[in-house]
Amino acid sequence: MLLVTPYREGVGSCTRSDSGFGDSLTVYIFLHDECVISQFFTPELTRLFENYRSKKVGFVGYFPNAAASPEKMSAFGEAYHLDFPLIQDQYKAMARKFGVTITPEVAVWDHQLDMLIYRGRIDDSYVRVGKRKLHPQHFDLQEAIDGWLLGQHHTGLVQTQAIGCFINFTE
């Protein structure tokens, strides 16, 4: 399994290294190619990736389902214009590591503090599965990144409830 770590100049994420990444943030995004809500959020994820890629913020997508083949992940990335790395998490090691149970759900790791600072929804577009707002009011992932960029470090984990497709941990 490839472990992905923080942003490095010119690279959205890179293979694990023990030095040189203490001043970065990594956004781990858990997706499912057949989840309509995962599909819905791809334009917002692309926008965030483009806005923050030059600011020491790395993005990486994980697919925590057994059917996520490299071909399906590549097709998903192409269909939805995702330029950050997409990685199979067939055995759900990364989902378990971050306590993620829904797709789409994000986990944001602060490498300065060496801790998870945010886990949850991308924004509040969905009230529940099948019920979407026309205009989201809370942009949780963007707020977490902006706060980090402004040096607003949290003493604990900020969490919101992600709405989407449950990750099947029994497959």
As a whole number of angstroms, the distance between CA 171 and CA 112 comes to 35
Phi and psi (nearest 5°) for 166? -70, 140
149 touches 112 (CB < 8 A): no
In what side-by-side order are the strands of the sheet with 57-63? 86-88, 57-63, 25-30, 105-110, 115-120, 158-159
Q: What is the pLDDT of residues 121-161, one digit of tens each?
A: 999 999 998 899 989 999 999 999 999 999 887 678 999 99
Length of the chain: 171
- Domain chopping of the chain, boundaries: 4-166
What phi and psi values does residue 130 have, to the nearest 5 degrees? 90, -5
pLDDT band at 22 (very low <50, low <70, confident <90, very high): low
Is residue 167 within 8 A of residue 65, CB to CB? The reply is yes
- pTM score, two decimals? 0.86
Q: If you compute the radius of gyration of the chain from its CA atoms, what whole number of angstroms results?
A: 15
CATH for 4-166 is: 3.40.30.10
pLDDT by residue (tens digit) across 75-133? 999 999 999 999 999 999 999 999 999 999 999 999 988 899 999 999 999 999 889 99
